[in-house]
Chains A and B, each alone.
Chain A
Amino acid sequence: MKKLFNATETMVDDMLDGFVSACPQVQRGSIDPRIIVRAKNAKNADDKVMLLIGNGSGHEPIAMGFVGEGLLDANVVGDVFAAPSADLILDGISQVAGKAGTILLISQHSGDVINGRAATMMANDAGINVLPLLMYDDISAAPPERRHRRRGAAGTMFIYKILGAAAEQGRSLEALMTLGEEVRSRTVTLAAAVSPGISPLTGKAMFTLPDDEIFLGMGVHGEPGVGRVKVGPVSLLVEQMVDALLADRPIATNGQVCVIVNGMGGTTMMELLTIWNETRSALEKRGIAAISPMIGSYVTTQEMGGFSISLLEPTADMLDCWCAPSDSPYFPRIASFAEDQNQ
């Protein structure tokens, strides 16, 4: 498979050089160049709880693309598909930690959890006030009674954005942890994969799938999902996924949900907008209003074909934070449908 890189040894740093030189919102950290921080400090940095996350690269624009005002304070960038080491995450925590405390967001995958939690322990030893917030939303990874064992998927972006907006308002560490846990408990995600991503390290497909089959519930690295379905009209697939999401976490008739339709890298905007339309329609048929969607390829695995649907049943506060303005390189503006309809 053809890939446009210089060398596996330099591909992550070549990308980061391009990223920080293109985006005035961000720069490399002073402690370690694998830390991406805001170019400008928050206005009231002493009163602001700091938010950061570490993750393997290869999934861009998440999470480095979400560093900026109203979102993350830092992202610690690991090697391709590899969680950053605990000491590098510790450097990231040290880089941003301030008086109001710090939250390390951790998308629940084994390496990220072990290294992230070890980093918070080491930071606590050094007298730094930092708490880990585990994020998980993929309903295919564990049944509802073991939802705390689920892996993190695209629905974690609800937590980034809502906590990012709330932190910018100056809310306390405790309040933000509670809010993050509450968003997590209201978020469900299900993914469908149609074709594999190609690893930039090996040049090989990360899994195989017959031409006429779709994997439901597959993880971002090709981790096994819940089952295979035959290719057909996307409306049927989306109906099935929406049913599974609502069965997992029911939403009352006349309720409303925020929606993320996330492409995995190789699925076109033409397809994603169609999927959003089918999602909106499937929810509407069940008496639920789909509002303030985020549609695009944000959590990707190279050119992997497929998408996920994430639903959040928001409180009024969560909805305000979800739609609040932000300024990061790659987080989109979220339209506030509710307000538009009231006008």
Chain B
Amino acid sequence: MASDRFFEQLHREFTQAAEQLNTLDAAIGDGDHGTTMLRGLTKAVSAPDAMRAKAFMRASGGASGTLFGLILLGIEAHIDQGAALDAELAKACERICDLGEVEVGDKSMVDALAPAVAAAQAGKPLPQIIAAAAKGRDGTRDLVARRGRAQYVENGGKGHIDPGSVSVVMILEALFSTEETP
């Protein structure tokens, strides 16, 4: 199976959610997270095989384009080359923590990704991996940001869900619906 259907599904999801993600991001960041993700995905869907995650990176730009691109690279390798999902997600998560200088609890995409990695490594099926990520996402509401622009807003953004963690869950959901529908 080629990753084109995954990226098309992702593109549909983010087309619908872009405004909502921008609104979430406006509370604690630049207010452009949805736009940035959609810009990358728009290029990704028209890129050739094995080049979609890279096309996403180039078009979305900035640090967040790179960090989300690492997740998409891993999923692309999983779909196109049969790489193990748990290992790919774990590698992406480790690199995102390293490059972004974030850890669990910092109110970032990692708060959704790390529990997903743990569930995947425990051998759980994709719906349970998604549930773990969603729980982490919801938990970012009570967290205080220690990295990025959110650390400078009132109370470190406490009371607001981190939009990056929302996107992580959406990426995993897109993977699930791609794998479910042959």
Contact = CB atoms under 8 A, between A and B. Distances in A.
Interface in B49-90: 54-55, 57-58, 61-63, 65-67, 69-70, 73
Contacts of B65: 85
Contact of A87 (B58, B63, B95): B58
Contact of A118 (B58, B61, B70): B70
B100 interface: yes
Nearest to B70: A118
A87 B57 contact: yes
Nearest to B61: A85
A88 B65 CA distance: 12
B164 to A, nearest CB: 14
A62 B98 CA distance: 28
Overall SS of chain B's interface: helix
A285 to B, nearest CB: 42
Interface residues of A, number: 16
Interface in A234-264: none
Given A87-B57, A114-B99, A82 B73 contact: no
Contacts of A329: none
Contacts of A117: 98-99
Nearest to A121: B95
Nearest to B65: A85
Given A115-B63, A115-B66, A118-B70, A85 B58 contact: yes
Contacts of B95: 118, 121
A118 B99 contact: yes
B54 A87 contact: yes
A43 to B, nearest CB: 33
Contacts of B99: 113-114, 117-118
Interface residues of B, number: 17
A287 B66 CA distance: 49
A212 to B, nearest CB: 30
A77 B70 CA distance: 21
Chain A contact surface mostly: helix
B145 to A, nearest CB: 16
A110 B63 contact: yes
Interface string A75-105: 0000100100111101000000000000000
A113 B66 CA distance: 11
Contacts of A82: 61-62
A288 interface: no
A114 B66 CA distance: 8
Interface string A104-120: 00000011011101100
Contact of A85 (B66, B70, B98, B100): B66
B78 to A, nearest CB: 14
Contacts of A177: none
A49 B164 CA distance: 39
B69 A86 contact: yes
Contacts of B58: 85, 87-88
A289 interface: no
A11 interface: no
Contacts of A111: 62-63
A185 B116 CA distance: 41
B103 to A, nearest CB: 16
Contact of B63 (A114, A121, A122): A114
Contacts of B73: 122
Nearest to A87: B54
Contacts of B61: 79, 82, 85
B12 to A, nearest CB: 24
A118 B66 contact: yes
Nearest to A118: B66
A244 to B, nearest CB: 28
A87 to B, nearest CB: 4
Contacts of B62: 82, 111
Nearest to A86: B66
Interface string B132-158: 000000000000000000000000000
A86 B64 CA distance: 11
Contacts of A115: 63, 66
Nearest to B60: A85
Nearest to B51: A87
B101 to A, nearest CB: 9
Pick from B57, B66, B67 the residue with the most CB of A within 10 Å. Answer: B66
Interface in B101-146: none
Given A90-B54, A117-B99, 9 more contacts: A87-B69, A110-B63, A111-B63, A114-B63, A114-B66, A114-B100, A115-B63, A118-B67, A122-B73
Counting from the closest, the 3 A-B pairs by CB-CB distance are A87-B54, A85-B58, A114-B63
Interface of B: 54-55, 57-58, 61-63, 65-67, 69-70, 73, 95, 98-100
